[in-house]
Structure 1
Amino acid sequence: MNSDSDVNSGAAAQDRPARPQIDRRRLLLSAAGGAAALAVAGGARWWARRDAARGPRLWSTTAASGRVVLSGGPQDGLFVSGYDGNLRALDPRTGAVRWSRAVGAADPMTENYGRPSAVGDGVLSVAAPTGLQTLDAATGDVRWQVPVARWTGLTWGQGPVIRGGSVFAAHDGALNAYDAATGERRWSRPLGPEGYLALADDTVYAVGREYGARAFDARSGEQRWAQGSVLGAYNTPVLHRGALLLTYATEDRTGTWVCSLDAATGRVRWQRRHGATNCAVSAAGGTVCFLSGDTLSAMDTETGEPRWTATTTLGLGRGESSMTVADGSAYVGTNDERLFAFDLDTGKQQWQDAPDDLRSDTEYTRVSLAAAGTAVYRSTRTGVHALGTLS
């Protein structure tokens, strides 16, 4: 690996790459943090000890930064849509760069967010500046690309999704389905200026501010149902236990509805109003979590009844925090490089990770998180960091 990378010595022996010879002159000690790292050939640093108050770091690398997406789990692929307009594939276990591919010059979207991307069926699709570009996930070779006249309203939550041999993307006012292998368009349906997508089995779901929520047959494009009562939806929906979970703005734009729709029929199961705005949603087990500002809240997925709330930090006060849940934990990443882990059942803080030097600048960015099992990956402008344990 050509970039700086840290690897935690607490990882299982069989998961480690062979350790190169240690350069003893580059032994780094951090008394303040209670940690010691051994700098070795190739820029890798093995964490020998960590302060108990900090998170269980696995590795970190400065070779990539941007939006992260996982393929399956830690044993598969980790992909980063960079702030610099490049796509990179990393080894989820070590942080080593497998390949890198330029998909367009940096622009306001990539500089603050990284371009939306999705991985599945052996391919990686990205909403590139010139169109929908699909690459071989193993090699980074371009398989196909289709021109897009307008990524209308393209934001953090909008981007392609992949399943069942198809790539689905909302652009040019329509929901489009493409053959994942060839790029041939299978069908297209009018949608509207926005399209936050989710997939389950043979159904693709789209939500947007102007039309609410809709469900389409993934093979034919036939509309299965429409729910217009959730106008103002503005985040990627989550499919969980037969429900489509989403957030949409109240009519006066002073709050947010967290809503559960029956994924098969579109019927409203429950909804709860909250005073916060711009809530991100994620779910696992019997709990749905949503984050707004410095407050993380949890509700029962079946009833919407509140379970617990926890407080994090607003970070630098600019940019946006991110949240995800997996394997009994809820994670919140802030743009000052901190990461919080909470017990999904109780809301009790499990650990907090912070850099040796907290950032004090006010550069706008959004933290990206991806989690699978007990491993969580955090990407900021300083690089990609892996924490937790690898199974």
Structure 2
Amino acid sequence: MPPRSRRAVLGTAAFALTGAVTGCLAAPRTDPEPIDDDGRPPSTGATAQFRGGPRRQGIFPDATVPTDPTVEWVHRGVNTGDHTAAKASPVPTPDGDVVVPGDTGEVRRFTPDGDVVWTAAVEETARGIHGTPALANGTVYVGAYDGALYAFDLETGERFWRRKLGDAIGSSPGYHDGVVYIAVEYYEPSGAMFGVDAVTGEVVWEDRRPTDHPHSTAAVDREAGRLVVGANDGHLYAWTYPDRSFAWAFETGDAIKGPVATHDGSAFFGSWDRRVYRVDLADGSREWAVETDGRVMSGPAVEAATDTVYVGSHDSRCYALDAATGAVRWTFDTGGRITGCPTVAGDHVLVGSYDGSCYTLEKGTGDRAWAVDGVGEVTSTPVVVDGAVYFADRAAEAYLDGDAEGRPGGVYKVGGG
């Protein structure tokens, strides 16, 4: 890796976040800081981002999963913290590598053989990174709990710029048409949505309506003309797109913490009020709500071809719902909370669980095809790259308690057949 340039070492002093859980921030907010823009990424199209694209549908129809699954490698030490938010998920590069952030504050690029191509770091690592990057312009865009959005060179890991936006970022960035969109947390006021120029890092749009430390991941639906995001204040917020004028807010009974997906003129999302919702993107009216037996932090996967919504719940079940009516088609009980998002890969649904397993289910029936067991609490979203499954788990309780035999969280590659 070449020496770091001046832009890679400039930046502002980091600060420590206090509070044991997301939303428990006590210090006064800090002002946005100037970017270092002596190095800029090129301006080209997007390559990959969390849930597969701006609509966050989590559907990969041409992907195939292993038939004889084997854990080919594990890289430990990616996640070492006790923060309960879902962990960041791997995202594929155009040439078959994966980029994986962790709550240590480090971002790594891995080859399919498990070799580390480069490691980059954010400036404050108390809680590190929980959002999954967007890859565009040959650049890795990711937010961190130091309240900054970062742009790293995809090839070398060198930092292009750092834009300080608030006091914490736990959401995943979204990219469209040269702008990176991300939800940001403040101490006071307690939230905002930003649009940041992908090349320069300059703020091009800001709205402070989302409150109570939002870390939901936004969706952009160009056909419906909407940008939508959830917030811990229990509201789903919508703006017109691409002009980004405020349109409406829809209220649920508790926090909206997970990603929002869009399909067929509607937004699909879960709430901590134990429901999964479908809301009309045009006017914010409720189309249906399905009650589960636990909080819903998982983000839905929405498949247009079968008109099906796949989503997890704290009640340990993965649900397949009729997208038009919300009727339950099937459920699968994993035995542990599901806080990460299901991924649809061809004929299968992949989902991680707090029971220490990553499951592959038959899409049509919900029957278990296979599972990787004993890996740890899987709160990241599984991703399939060239027939292999990648996911990350949390640090084990024994590790967090200081046990020398305890296991830090890692990233896994599952291949075979």
TM more than 0.5: yes
Q: Structure 1 unaligned segments of length 5 or more: list them.
A: 1-52, 251-255, 360-364
- Identify the residue that residue 288 of structure 1 maps to in structure 2: 309
- Identify the residue that residue 135 of structure 2 maps to in structure 1: 120
- Identify the residue that residue 24 of structure 1 maps to in structure 2: none
- CA gap 1:231/1:337 in 2 versus in 1, 3 angstroms: closer
- Identify the residue that residue 378 of structure 1 maps to in structure 2: 391
Cα distance in 1 for residues equivalent to 2:287 and 2:154: 38
Residue 85 of structure 1, CA deviation: 1.7
Q: Is the 8 A contact 2:90 2:391 kept in 1?
A: no
Q: What do residues 239-295 of structure 1 show as CA deviations (whole Å, max 9, x unaligned)?
A: 234331111243xxxxx1211112344332211122222341322422212222432
Give the RMSD, CA atoms, in angstroms: 3.0
- Identify the residue that residue 154 of structure 2 maps to in structure 1: 137
- Identify the residue that residue 167 of structure 1 maps to in structure 2: 180
Q: What do residues 97-124 of structure 1 show as CA deviations (whole Å, max 9, x unaligned)?
A: 22111113531x33xxx43242132322
Pick which of 327-336 and 265-274 moved more.
Answer: 327-336
Where is the strand percentage greater, Structure 1 or Structure 2?
1
Of 324, 332, 338, the residue aligned with 1:302 is 324
Q: Is the 8 A contact 2:391 2:412 kept in 1?
A: yes
**1:214 maps onto 2:237 in alignment:** yes
Secondary structure, counterpart of 2:172 in structure 1:
coil
Q: Is the 8 A contact 1:247 1:281 kept in 2?
A: yes
Q: Which amino acid aligns with 2:330?
A: W
Residue 136 of structure 1, CA deviation: 2.1
Residue 215 of structure 1, CA deviation: 1.8
Q: Is the 8 A contact 1:60 1:383 kept in 2?
A: no
**1:59 maps onto 2:72 in alignment:** yes
Secondary structure, counterpart of 1:322 in structure 2:
coil
- Identify the residue that residue 329 of structure 1 maps to in structure 2: 348
Tell me how many residue pairs correspond in the alignment: 312
Give the TM-score normalised by structure 1. 0.70
Q: Is the 8 A contact 1:212 1:229 kept in 2?
A: yes
Cα distance in 1 for residues equivalent to 2:135 and 2:240: 19
Residue 229 of structure 1, CA deviation: 5.1
Of 107, 124, 145, the residue aligned with 1:87 is 107
Residue 331 of structure 1, CA deviation: 1.9
Q: Which amino acid aligns with 1:132?
A: L
Cα distance in 2 for residues equivalent to 1:143 and 1:226: 35
- Identify the residue that residue 245 of structure 1 maps to in structure 2: 268
- CA gap 1:150/1:84 in 2 versus in 1, 3 angstroms: closer
Q: Which amino acid aligns with 1:69?
A: P
- CA gap 1:224/1:94 in 2 versus in 1, 3 angstroms: farther
Q: Which has the larger radius of gyration?
A: 1
- CA gap 1:60/1:265 in 2 versus in 1, 3 angstroms: farther
Higher RCO, 1 or 2 (CA under 8 Å, sep at least 6)?
2
Cα distance in 1 for residues equivalent to 2:390 and 2:175: 21
- CA gap 1:307/1:72 in 2 versus in 1, 3 angstroms: farther
- Identify the residue that residue 286 of structure 2 maps to in structure 1: 268
Secondary structure, counterpart of 1:177 in structure 2:
strand
Cα distance in 1 for residues equivalent to 2:271 and 2:321: 16
Q: Is the 8 A contact 2:352 2:382 kept in 1?
A: no
- CA gap 1:352/1:79 in 2 versus in 1, 3 angstroms: same
Q: Is the 8 A contact 2:67 2:416 kept in 1?
A: no
- CA gap 1:233/1:322 in 2 versus in 1, 3 angstroms: closer
Q: Which amino acid aligns with 2:195?
A: A
Q: Structure 2 unaligned segments of length 5 or more: list them.
A: 1-65, 80-87, 394-407
Cα distance in 1 for residues equivalent to 2:239 and 2:164: 23
- Identify the residue that residue 182 of structure 1 maps to in structure 2: 200
Q: Which amino acid aligns with 1:84?
A: T
Cα distance in 1 for residues equivalent to 2:278 and 2:159: 38
Cα distance in 2 for residues equivalent to 1:236 and 1:119: 14
- Identify the residue that residue 101 of structure 1 maps to in structure 2: 120
Cα distance in 2 for residues equivalent to 1:130 and 1:323: 24
Once the two structures are aligned, what percentage of the paired residues are identical?
21
Q: Which amino acid aligns with 1:232?
A: A
Residue 186 of structure 1, CA deviation: 0.7
Residue 72 of structure 1, CA deviation: 6.8
Q: Which amino acid aligns with 1:244?
A: A
Q: What does 1:23-38 align with in structure 2 at a 5 Å threshold?
A: none
Q: What do residues 345-387 of structure 1 show as CA deviations (whole Å, max 9, x unaligned)?
A: 10111012225xx77xxxxx65322324754211124532222
Q: Is the 8 A contact 2:317 2:338 kept in 1?
A: no
Q: Is the 8 A contact 2:93 2:99 kept in 1?
A: no
Residue 77 of structure 1, CA deviation: 4.4
